[in-house]
A and B are shown apart, each in its own frame.
Chain A
């Protein structure tokens, strides 16, 4: 069972009600993680994460694994990885 550290940035953490948590995954990859989170947090998170037109991850949501952004929606994960869900937040 892989333990994944998940962080939610402003704009996402409102849907989860928390800023971070540890999620355990038997088959660690991004789709499995997303499925578990959508089951846990339901429609508030789904409205943010999923594009209703395509049923896939919304382009307004960025995912980073261990601090590096990934465009691979099926990226594999490993025990101890950190995954960040964030809107496009940049600037100053």
Chain B
């Protein structure tokens, strides 16, 4: 390929501390695009069932896409992929894992001349990778081991003598292989999902440092300018762009409260009494001092905060809604300065704050119910106890005592250890926290959580169409106007399918989903970006087919690991406990009819959730159909719901 892609994969063998460059075929790039899609194919081919996610046979993959580093708005992203040490399916097998992150490192990898970096094996002592265009070094990192992510970033840039170097590193949580560990990019952007930081720690890979000075050849620059100009104009026509740019994702807290779907006290409620103290406008009035943007983004949804004094003095970039909700309403905490402090702690220690907020909220409900006591924990874990929250975050990252070690395993494994019914109020899907929109109230979101390929997650589908499309559009696109009705059932499965495919493509171009969801930018837009950069001629339908291929590939990976229909479920609280009060009072999630429709639309067997041969072959995944068939895991009958066990 002459344009967009570099066609190069950097392969780093950690045990031997050697590296090589492989050429990526044009067919592979056209079929999976890059980023998430290409990473997923690499993971499928390289990691087989029985692999220990924290062992030497797991791989760690950083992937960027063909439009990274161009004028395409939001073309900043990078996907990190590995077998997840956090998520679980089947009889306790690890699940597919990846995490997507913005900032500036993704484009820098591209400028250095690589579409993908693949790490194999484990180093015998700490190392970091230094990429300076074509010059690659695997350097000793003994002096960095034990440092937090900010000090690591600072030390690397100082010792390499270039402030423009972009980094991705783990903190102490990754070193202790806490399953909640993330990878921090340039201090402030987190690849948080699925425990990717623990995989990096298991490889004794402390950091990646990148400096690239190349460009990205664009096939049709005039066309790209025109498409980008129209796209930015369209983005700014949507008032949500104003909300993102002024308030970022914390703007979501206010509507979540108003609609009664705000995770509160570990989802015991869906509205928070003191919500006004933790809104985005409160952040803007008290703590934000500037806005920030990732590479090439017209939305600039990030902010810089300063808590100038007091016990929670801190500073940094952020926070996101997963933080204000996760360390706020979900934990019964209305102290905004403490939320920011916990956020800063997580970033420095290298802990994913979504799953960390989840495990704290679950532990607090255990404390409320007397399943964890002060005697057990040496802490009063009552709702809103910010001192205890900050203390516990450090214990988790460092595994410094029994409780921290237990919670570092994630809420699911901790609940298995504690038992006593604590599993009933555990909020997880496949052992990962889903997000902060209550799945009982936002039903397409609930379905999306249940089927997401990397465990509980709102970003695999991000089904904003549930509120955006008109009933007439829903009828035409998804077969039923109910798809956009809050209490509807029909059409939700097809809506989630369409959304997953659209998002998979954005993740593979490595364009921010915030860009393609604002104004509900359709697949045709994404195709125009890709075509102008690469010179190819994809249609919107081509985009959706590639997205469908990626979703099925990840499904097949999980089926090979042991996934069945019983794994595609939701927390018991969402399925059985009606929302107690507020606008959504009485709602529970009736998942199964939506799941049936989703499976039918996907061409997956209703009873097992296995993809059928026809489905895989139509997506050019015949080789995968052969493999899962040999394992007895190919769906071959379209079994009706009434015939299910």
Interface residues of A (CB under 8 A from B): 7, 9-12, 14, 19, 48, 59-62, 64, 66-69, 71, 84, 86-92
Q: What is the CA–CA distance of A61 and B321 in the complex, to the nearest angstrom?
A: 21
Q: Which 8 residue pairs across A and B have the least CB separation, nearest first?
A: A67-B583, A11-B243, A87-B240, A10-B243, A11-B239, A10-B251, A87-B239, A60-B238
Q: Which residues of B contact A19 (CB under 8 A)?
A: 254, 281
Per the 8 Å Cβ criterion, residues 269-324 of B in contact with A are 280-281, 320-322
* Stretch of B170-178, B416-424, B459-467 on the interface side: B459-467
B255 near A71: Cβ-Cβ < 8 Å: no
Q: What is the CA–CA distance of A91 and B251 in the complex, to the nearest angstrom?
A: 10
User: What DSSP secondary structure best describes chain B's contact surface?
Assistant: helix
Is B436 on the interface with A (CB-CB < 8 A)?
A: yes
Q: Which residues of B contact A92 (CB under 8 A)?
A: 249, 252, 320-322, 325, 354, 435-437, 458-459
16 contacts between A and B (CB under 8 A): A9-B258, A11-B240, A11-B241, A11-B243, A19-B254, A67-B258, A67-B260, A69-B467, A88-B468, A90-B462, A90-B464, A91-B459, A91-B513, A91-B514, A92-B325, A92-B436
Q: Which of B240, B281, B471 contacts A89 (CB 8 A)?
A: B240
Q: What is the CA–CA distance of A88 and B237 in the complex, to the nearest angstrom?
A: 12
User: What DSSP secondary structure best describes chain A's contact surface?
Assistant: loop
Q: Which residues of A contact B582 (CB under 8 A)?
A: 67
B470 near A71: Cβ-Cβ < 8 Å: yes
B242 near A11: Cβ-Cβ < 8 Å: yes
Q: Which of B241, B249, B471 contacts A91 (CB 8 A)?
A: B249
A67 near B280: Cβ-Cβ < 8 Å: no
A60 near B240: Cβ-Cβ < 8 Å: yes
A5–chain B nearest beta-carbon distance, Å? 11
Across the interface, name the chain A residue whose C-beta is closest to B252.
A89
Interface residues of B (CB under 8 A from A): 237-243, 246-247, 249, 251-252, 254-255, 258-260, 280-281, 320-322, 325, 354, 435-437, 442, 445, 458-459, 462, 464, 467-468, 470-471, 484, 486, 513-514, 517, 519-520, 582-584
Q: What is the CA–CA distance of A60 and B640 in the complex, to the nearest angstrom?
A: 39
A37–chain B nearest beta-carbon distance, Å? 15
Across the interface, name the chain A residue whose C-beta is closest to B585.
A67
Q: Do A90 and B467 form a contact, CB below 8 Å, given A66-B583, A67-B260?
A: yes
Q: Which residues of A contact B260 (CB under 8 A)?
A: 67
A91 near B458: Cβ-Cβ < 8 Å: yes
A44–chain B nearest beta-carbon distance, Å? 11
Q: What is the CA–CA distance of A19 and B462 in the complex, to the nearest angstrom?
A: 27
B243 near A87: Cβ-Cβ < 8 Å: yes
B517 near A91: Cβ-Cβ < 8 Å: yes
Q: What is the CA–CA distance of A10 and B467 in the complex, to the nearest angstrom?
A: 16
Q: What is the CA–CA distance of A91 and B437 in the complex, to the nearest angstrom?
A: 8
A63–chain B nearest beta-carbon distance, Å? 11
Q: What is the CA–CA distance of A11 and B249 in the complex, to the nearest angstrom?
A: 12
Q: Which of A11, A61, A68 contacts B251 (CB 8 A)?
A: A11
Q: Do A71 and B247 form a contact, CB below 8 Å, given A9-B255, A87-B240?
A: no
B242 near A71: Cβ-Cβ < 8 Å: no
B74–chain A nearest beta-carbon distance, Å? 14
Across the interface, name the chain B residue whose C-beta is closest to A84.
B258
Q: Which residues of B contact A66 (CB under 8 A)?
A: 583
B484 near A90: Cβ-Cβ < 8 Å: no
Q: Which residues of B contact A9 (CB under 8 A)?
A: 243, 251, 254-255, 258
